[in-house]
Structure 1
Amino acid sequence: QREPVTPESLFRIASISKPITAVAILQLVDQGKLSLDDKVFEILDHEPHVEEGSKIDERQNEITIQHLLQHRGGWDRDQSFDAMFRSTQFANALGASHPATPDTIIRVMRGKPLDFDPGERYAYSNYGYCLLGRVIEKISGEAYEDYVQQHVLQPIGVTSMSVGATRLEGRKPNEVRYYDPHQGDSVFAEDLNSRVPQTYGAWHLEAMDSHGAWIASASDLARFASALDDPENSPLLSSARINDMFARPEGLAGHKKNGDLKPRYYGQGWSVVTDDSGELTASHGGSLPGTNTILVRRSDGKNVALLFNTRVTARLSRVTGTILPQAMKAIDQIKDWPEPSEDGTR
């Protein structure tokens, strides 16, 4: 419709949802309701779906909350698959309704083998953060979205964020349209397996709530990142929890095989890069057909949110990868910034 984007336009933020979920989990730790060493499947009690001739991988019983936060749970989508994009197959496996819910996905995955021992190393896992969303629900007694809105977003003055909808008719007021040149097979019962736009029906966004389904504005994300800037006075977490979010994980997740420190590692909900002086830059990207996003907490204290309603062009496979360096260069040239407003943002 050629409507101009504004700082308040709402975008699917994809995996920038993960640091938001991490904060919600760490709040429960701060409150003493949860421990990082708690075993996830001692909290969640989904009945496993075990295929004939298979058996439960007992290593799953050793997966902790810490493992999930740091992508060390034992699933490696490069070795096997990404469970969150197997909606049709998993619903069929249980004879469940389409599209598959998180509970359906968890039941099927409980009967699948791990790709490595829990804690052994890092491997990015959307499914691990799906489990964290269910832990939040179990511990708090609230729906995931409701808990995050009330306890993570409202305290920092963010009122426009919500879990998005897959179908175009579910588009929220002030939400952008998403563009991708490809089609995929529908995962929805009403037109199952028929060809639909990748952006509006080829995967189930609602089931991705805690790892990739929030919609937000650039201003919302700037407020969220800024709420972590002063660990001693954060409205969200204790200083100890904030420091832990960006701390280096043990073992191969944070170190090379020879014991040297990796220059980039994944903390608790953030990808962290250290420079030669030890300064940290923390960020998280997001990518779905029709969506490319990144949130960066720079070492100089500036927070940058960059949101696009496409991820490919005729020349680019990821638009943020090309635009972000240019945006950072422009930010470096700004000498005078406005004073913070009452909510702490500028």
Structure 2
Amino acid sequence: DIELPVSTEDIIRFALDKRLHFTSGTGRSYSNLGYAILGLVVEEVSGISYEDYCKTEIFEPLGIYDFELARNLYEERDPFEVRYYEPYNAIPKESIYGTGEMVPAPYGGNDIEALGGAGAWITTAPDLLRFVMSVDGLDFCEDILPEPSIEFMTDRSNGFAPVGWKATTKNGYWWRTGSFAGTSTMIKRMPDGTLWAVLLNSSTWKSSLFTTDINRLMSRIIWNTDTWSDLDLFSYLLPVHVEPLSVTAY
């Protein structure tokens, strides 16, 4: 018997027992499984949790402090984490904890924690942009990946999808979208050096197609903006992460 909620390791064991849909290298398919496996590889090699490794080895050296892995339940949310909203007529789901209770998908209906290395990070839009700037291949700040790695991740000449990004174009547009019950997100890198990110704490029945509306809106805003501030707004940003307080009663 498998204990609920199902662990990342249980999901991987289940998936590895199945046949591939095609011979490796002959096709493509969107898959979170590989990233979940990579997360466990990071833990095995580093000797620390995947979350701690990303924070200490990637985010903090970039001046990023507001990345946290999400939790499944509302009462376990990060101190500054938003509340997530589904459409008003969303159907509750059976709790992943096996209680039989019907609950909202963002709070016990979906197992966010089981994603592991496949996602489930919560962050702020400014810190997400800080991270994207470190892998965008542009000259505004130093990239943490070597140029050949970035070229490999964004190359479409082999007919396969890019790595990490949802899509890339020959003229330099790269973007990534994401959606879950209660979230809709998109980041985009443009060849003129413009980067933008939209993070929403709600979702629609359009699901991933809603990002088309986000892209259309942001494109209209950018096209209609004649001048931009020359201030480095990152210099005004302070990390909001709060450590738990130790309270002593007298």
Question: For residues 129 and 208 of structure 1, do their structure 2 counterparts lie closer, same or farther at Cα, with a shift above 3 Å needed?
Answer: same
Output the CA distance in 2 between the equivalents of 1:208 and 1:186. 16
State the match for 2:201 in structure 1: 309
By how many angstroms is 1:320 displaced?
3.0
State the match for 1:218 in structure 2: 125
- Pick aligned residue for 1:293 from 161, 169, 185: 185
Question: For residues 140 and 234 of structure 1, do their structure 2 counterparts lie closer, same or farther at Cα, with a shift above 3 Å needed?
Answer: farther
Output the CA distance in 1 between the equivalents of 2:232 and 2:35. 33
- Pick aligned residue for 2:168 from 264, 270, 273: 273
CA deviations over 1:158-199 (Å, ceiling 9, x no partner): 10111001111111111111111221111114x2x3211111
Secondary structure of the residue aligned to 2:198 is strand
Output the CA distance in 2 between the equivalents of 1:182 and 1:324. 28
8 Å CA contact 1:155–1:235 kept in 2: the answer is no
State the match for 2:149 in structure 1: 241
8 Å CA contact 1:272–1:280 kept in 2: the answer is no
8 Å CA contact 2:43–2:49 kept in 1: the answer is yes
Letter of the aligned partner of 1:335 in structure 2?
D
8 Å CA contact 1:176–1:309 kept in 2: the answer is yes
By how many angstroms is 1:246 displaced?
1.1
Which residues in structure 2 correspond to 1:1-346 (within 5 Å)?
Answer: 95-180=1-86, 181-189=90-98, 191=99, 193-230=100-137, 234-248=142-156, 250=158, 252-253=159-160, 266-274=161-169, 278-312=170-204, 317=207, 318-339=209-230, 341=232
By how many angstroms is 1:139 displaced?
2.8
Question: For residues 340 and 126 of structure 1, do their structure 2 counterparts lie closer, same or farther at Cα, with a shift above 3 Å needed?
Answer: farther
8 Å CA contact 1:245–1:269 kept in 2: the answer is yes
Output the CA distance in 1 between the equivalents of 2:177 and 2:136. 19
Question: For residues 144 and 223 of structure 1, do their structure 2 counterparts lie closer, same or farther at Cα, with a shift above 3 Å needed?
Answer: same
Secondary structure of the residue aligned to 1:331 is helix
User: How many corresponding residue pairs?
Assistant: 232
Secondary structure of the residue aligned to 2:53 is helix
8 Å CA contact 1:177–1:309 kept in 2: the answer is yes
Question: Could you tell me the TM-score, scaled by structure 1's length?
Answer: 0.62
Letter of the aligned partner of 2:49 in structure 1?
A
Gaps of 5+ in 2: 238-250
CA deviations over 1:40-94 (Å, ceiling 9, x no partner): xxxxxxxxxxxxxxxxxxxxxxxxxxxxxxxxxxxxxxxxxxxxxxxxxxxxxxx
8 Å CA contact 1:226–1:344 kept in 2: the answer is no
Letter of the aligned partner of 1:291 in structure 2?
T
Question: Could you tell me the TM-score, scaled by structure 2's length?
Answer: 0.84
8 Å CA contact 1:228–1:242 kept in 2: the answer is yes
By how many angstroms is 1:235 displaced?
4.7
Output the CA distance in 2 between the equivalents of 1:117 and 1:343. 46
Gaps of 5+ in 1: 1-94, 254-265
Letter of the aligned partner of 2:198 in structure 1?
L
CA RMSD of aligned residues (A): 2.3
State the match for 2:240 in structure 1: none
Higher RCO (C-alpha under 8 Å, 6+ residues apart):
1
Output the CA distance in 1 between the equivalents of 2:23 and 2:67. 36
